[in-house]
Amino acid sequence: MKNAVAIAQGPSSFSSSRGVVLTQSVVVALSIAAVISLHELIHFVVGRITGIPAVFTGLTSAGVPEGTAALYPQSALALMNASAPLFTVIVGFGLYPALARWPEIFGRARYFFTWWAIFGIPYLGLQMMIIVNHVDSSGHGADSAAVAGYLHVPMSVRAIVCVMGFVLYMVSAVWVLGVIRAVDVDMQVAHTATNVCLWRRVLGGILIFGAIACAVTVARRALLGTFPGPYMVGAFLGWALAAAVLTPWRSPAARVVWTHWLLPGAIGMAALIPFGFIGGVNDYASIWLPIIPPVVAAAMFASRDVSGVSPIARLAR
């Protein structure tokens, strides 16, 4: 019961006990599962509204039945595929100021909805990056890639958008930190700037260069018509490792991010992985990959932000 009370009262009252971390992890898993389900429901509803007999094709996918995409207008198919990502991004950025300005509206669900923002804010950069992915004849695959295919966007343009998207994905960690700081009182006071040693700065710089190089390679391989998947994973992992190396984990701000957000988030994401193999491989198997790196990077930026309060939190005051 004490764990539930801690969650209800908000991050400022969190402790590092195992029970509280596990309770937070359950909330993370439920939050991410809910936003993914809502995302797919948007696909389904918009498809039906536009005259497409959309169906749920898997645990985390909705679209047209296999082999039937050619029967429907490509503009309608593009709208169906674009609607859910746009909704997810709007929800993410919309929750950012809302959580800071009106926290009392969210009450006990504040931690739950903060993870919707953590998911939605980097999602724009993610969708821009995966616009070069392969999509089958029924449009099954990355949403942005399906939209680009239906609208006949040249691969050269998509490759440029891919690299720009990864840079935006990296920068989005600043906004993730902003929303975390807006709802977590401990983050608003734990703002001592701390540096890391020289070798860690050098290694972090090399890893950042490697992550960007992987993103560029993704775009280059897409132009050549080859599968860029391993390099996509390398870009995400390289950015996460760089942020981890550059974060002084003993600093007060980084420790708050670790205890309140990163550790519960990692456990919650891990709990969803087994569901990623029900009825075939689905998004739950790899959803942790784009979500966890921005939280790690938020810890890095937090340890270097001496202001202690995010711009949105200042606006809310």
* Residues 191 and 253: beta-carbon distance below 8 Å: yes
Q: What is the pLDDT of residue 127?
A: 95
Contacts 24+ apart (CB under 8 A), 257-260: 257/177, 257/180, 257/187, 257/295, 257/298, 257/299, 257/302, 258/299, 259/14, 259/16, 259/21, 260/11, 260/14, 260/24, 260/180, 260/184, 260/186, 260/187
**Ranges of the chain whose pLDDT falls below 70:** 1-16, 136-140, 188-193, 305-317
The DSSP bridge partners found for residue 56 are: 62
Distance, in Å, from the CA atom of 145 to the CA atom of 160, rounded to the nearest integer, reads 13
pLDDT reported for residue 7: 44
Cα–Cα distance between 287 and 273 in angstroms, integer?
8
The one-letter amino acid at 118: I
Helix (DSSP H) and strand (DSSP E) numbers for the chain: 15, 2
- The pLDDT, as a whole number, for residue 309 is 43
Model confidence, pTM: 0.86
Q: Which pLDDT score is estimated for 140?
A: 65
How far is 23 from 6, CA to CA, in rounded Å?
Answer: 9
DSSP 58: E
Those residues with Cβ within 8 angstroms of residue 292's Cβ, 6 or more apart along the chain or in another chain:
240, 262, 265, 266, 269
